[in-house]
Amino acid sequence: MALRPLVECVPNFSEGRRADVIDAIVQTLRRTGAVHVLDVSSDPDHNRTVVTMVGAPDEVERAMFAGIRTAAELINMEEHSGEHPRFGATDVVPFIPIRDVTMAECVAMAQRLGERVGTELRIPVFLYEAAASNPERENLAKIRNTKFQYEQLKAAIETDAERMPDYGPAQVGSAGATIIGARPPLIAFNVYLTTDNVEIATKIAKAVRQSNGGMAFVKGAGFLVDGKAQVSMNLTDYRKTPIFRVVELVRREAQRYGVGILSSELIGLAPQEAFIDSAQWYLQLDGFKAEQLLETRILQAEADAAASPLARDEPPVPEDATSHVPTVEAAFVDSVAAATPTPGGGSVAAFAGALGAALTQMVAGLTVGKKRYAEVEDQMQATLAAASDLREKLLAAVAQDAQAFTDLMTAFKLPQDDPSRDATILTKTLGAAEVPHTVCGYGLEALRLAEVAARLGNKNAATDAAVGALMIVAAIEGAALNVRVNLVDLADHPRAQELQQSVVSMIEQTYQLRVQIIDHAETRAGLKG
C-alpha cells in the first residue's frame, strides 16, 4: 500500500476558557484541510489549548494558516491572562516529521507558513528550533519565556533589533505574534506536588532542566495550577532522556523540601515507545520486546493485509475531512434550536453565507482542469481560491456574532451606577452591528464570485452556483436586518449612520447580482426558451 507522507502539527492557542472560541478554531482546522485532529487539550489556568493533528504536508499547512487566521479574529491578547507565557493568539506552531517527510521539508513548511502569515495576516512571525534563522532562536525559551512575553514584546519589537521578527511587521497588534518552527516529537509532561508552594515547584524545575545544569533535553518551569504546585516540563528527546528518569529526579528533588509527587499528566499526545520504556523500567521487564504487545501484533497483521495486491493503492481521505459536514451541521442546527439567545439570526446568516461560498467553490472546482473550460482556467482558479477564503471568514463570523451578542448582554448587566456602563454599552452595541455588517461585505464578495461561476463555470453545475447565490442573498439580507436592529437606538451616531447607509448600498447591489445570476443559470441549464 502506498502510504502518503505524514506531518504532525501541535499548535498552541492562547485560549483555554471559552469553549465556543476553542471549538471555532478546531472546526476551522478540520474544515480547511484533509487532516486528522487527534487531540484537543485545554487548561483554564494556563488559558491555553494544545491541538494535535496529522495529515499530508500541504493539507496541514493549509489548515494551519486558516487556524491562525481564525484565532487572530477571536482572541484579543490585550484581554488575555494565564499562567503560561505567550506571545500571541496562536502562540507556537511546530511541524514534526512523522512518515516519509524530512526535517528539511518541515523547515520549508515553517518558512512558507511564516511568510504567508506575516504578509497576509500582518502578524509578526518568529522561527524557532530547526527552522530558526539564527542559533540564538533555536531554543523557544530564548524567544519567549516567563520574563519576556506578549507585553514585553509589544514594547520592544519596534526598537530592539534582536526582537525583529523573521516575517511580518515589527509591530504587535491584538493577535500578538506567532512562533513557527520544525522539531522532533516532544512530550509535554507535568508533575503535581503535594503542596501549593509554587516556589518549590520552581526550584525543582530549575534543578531538572538542562539550561540550569539539569538533565539534557528537558525544559521546565514551576506554576500554580488548581491550587497545586506544578512542575511543567517539555521533554525534547525522550529516547535520550526518558520519562521515568525525569520523574525519579523530580521525586528526589521534592523529598529535599519534604513533599512528594501527587500526580502527573500528559498534555496532548506522545509516542507509545516512551511509555513502554517507562513500564519496562518500573516493572523490571528484562528482555521485553514491543512485539509482545497485543496492539502491536494487530497493527502488524493489518499492515500485512494492507500490503496485499488486493489492497487499495491509496488510503482514503481522513474521515475528519469528509464526514464532518453532517455532524457539524447537525450540532449547529441543534444549538440554534436550543432555547438560548446564541447562536441566533446573525450566526445563521453567516452560516448561510458560508454554505453559499462553498457551493461557488464547488462549481469552480468542477471547472478547473477541464479542457472544455481551458479559456477560463485562470478565472476559475482565482474564483476557487477566493471562495475558499470567504467560506472560512464567514464560518469564523458564526462564532464572532455570538460572541458580540454575549459581550453586549454582559455590558447591560453592569451596575447602573458604574460610570463606564453607558460607554461600554455604546461600544458593544456598535460591535454587535459591526459583525453582521462585515458578513454583508463578505457576502457581497461571495455573490460576485457566484456570478462568475454561474456565467463561466461548468454549465452542468450552473444551478448549483445559483443555489449558492440564493443562500448568500439570504445571508446578506439577514445580516443587514441585524445591523439595522442593533442600531435602532443610535440613529444620530456617525458610525451608526455609516453602517446603515453601507448596508442599504450593499442590498441594492445584491438584488442586481441576484437577477443576473439566476438568468445565467437558467439560460445555461436550458430552462429558458
Q: Tens digit of pLDDT for each residue in 174-232?
A: 999 999 999 988 888 999 999 999 999 999 999 999 989 999 989 999 999 989 999 99
Using left for φ > 0, alpha for ψ between -120 and 50, and beta otherwise, residue 213 falls in left
Tell me the residue type at 12: N
Q: How far apart (Å, rounded) are the C-alpha atoms in residues 31 and 321?
A: 6
Q: In the predicted model, what is the mean pLDDT of residues 9-17?
A: 95
Q: In the predicted model, what is the mean pLDDT of residues 46-60?
A: 93
Q: Residue 149 pLDDT > 70, yes or no?
A: yes
Find out whether 431 and 406 touch, Cβ atoms under 8 Å.
no
Burial category of 359 from C-beta neighbours within 10 Å (exposed 0-12, middle 13-18, buried 19 and up) = buried
Q: How far apart (Å, rounded) are the C-alpha atoms in residues 390 and 453?
A: 15
The percentage of the chain sitting over the pLDDT mark of 70, rounded to a whole number, equals 93
Contacts of 363-366 with C-beta under 8 Å, sequence gap 24+, read 363/453, 363/454, 363/457, 363/458, 363/461, 363/462, 363/464, 363/465, 363/468, 364/449, 364/453, 364/457, 366/457, 366/458, 366/460, 366/461
Q: Residue 309 pLDDT > 80, yes or no?
A: no
- Joined together, the cell numbers standing for residue 237 give 528527546
Closest by Cα among 387, 381, 379, 382 to 360: 387
341 vs 256, higher pLDDT: 256
Q: Please, which residues bridge with residue 261 across strands?
A: 193
**Identified catalytic residue from 84, 324, 437, 520:** 84
Q: How far apart (Å, rounded) are the C-alpha atoms in residues 529 and 521?
A: 13
Phi, psi of 256 (to 5 degrees): -60, -30
Using left for φ > 0, alpha for ψ between -120 and 50, and beta otherwise, residue 195 falls in beta
Q: Which residue has the cell 528518569?
A: 245
Dihedral sign, Cα of residue 185, residue 290, residue 4, residue 66: negative
- Please report which confidence band the pLDDT of residue 470 belongs to, taking 50, 70 and 90 as the band edges: very high
Q: Residue 366 pLDDT > 70, yes or no?
A: yes
- Please report which confidence band the pLDDT of residue 83 belongs to, taking 50, 70 and 90 as the band edges: confident
Closest by Cα among 365, 418, 409 to 388: 365
Looking at residue 305, its pLDDT comes to 60
Q: Is 324 a catalytic residue?
A: no
Find out whether 357 and 390 touch, Cβ atoms under 8 Å.
yes
Domains detected in the chain: 6-182 (3.30.990.10), 187-285 (3.30.70.670), 323-524 (1.20.120.680)
- Joined together, the cell numbers standing for residue 93 give 506552531
Give the pLDDT confidence of 414-467 residue by residue, as tens digits: 898 889 998 998 999 999 999 999 999 999 999 999 999 999 999 999 999 999
Looking at residue 26, its pLDDT comes to 94
Find out whether 452 and 416 touch, Cβ atoms under 8 Å.
no
Q: Which residue has the cell 506571545?
A: 87
- Joined together, the cell numbers standing for residue 371 give 479542457
Looking at residue 186, its pLDDT comes to 84
- SS3 readout for 24-80: HHHHHHHHHCCEEEEEEEEECCCCEEEEEEEECHHHHHHHHHHHHHHHHHHCCHHHC
Find out whether 59 and 95 touch, Cβ atoms under 8 Å.
no
